[in-house]
């Protein structure tokens, strides 16, 4: 849901002057986790993060159970994992 939070925050910044009068914005902010677009973006980001995690751990000959746990963690924290992967991982490769 990390992408949904970012998208909603960007909408908040765009509508900062109209927060009290814009009912559509208030409804969107309250339903952040049920927005289909946000959910789709989060699933795409999480899937890519899980793929990168599984692929990297396969190259490192990590046991299968640990690879799956890491991949699920990467899926759940998709955007944060991608940031970590591209900033920290080049040093480890």
Q: Residues, the chain, total? A: 93
Q: What is the pLDDT of residues 31-54, one digit of tens each?
A: 555 567 777 888 899 999 999 999
- Does the pTM exceed 0.85? no
Q: Residue 2 above 70 pLDDT?
A: no
Domain ranges of the chain: 2-92
63 pLDDT above the threshold of 70: yes
Query: What sign results for the dihedral spanned by CA atoms 45, 51, 56, 57?
Result: positive
**Residue 73 pLDDT class (50, 70, 90 cuts):** very high
The pLDDT value recorded for residue 54 is 94
Cβ distance 49 to 74 under 8 Å?
yes
Asked if pLDDT for residue 19 goes beyond 60, the answer is no
Rounded CA separation 5/65 (Å): 31
């Amino acid at each position: 849901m990390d992408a949904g939070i970012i998208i909603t925050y960007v909408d908040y910044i765009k509508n900062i002057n109209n927060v009290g009068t814009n009912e559509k914005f208030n409804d969107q902010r309250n339903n952040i986790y049920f927005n289909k677009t946000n959910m789709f973006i989060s699933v795409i980001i999480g899937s890519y993060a899980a793929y990168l995690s599984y692929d990297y751990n396969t190259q490192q000959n990590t046991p299968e159970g640990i690879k799956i746990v890491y991949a699920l963690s990467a899926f759940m924290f998709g955007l944060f994992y991608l940031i970590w992967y591209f900033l920290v991982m080049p040093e480890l490769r």
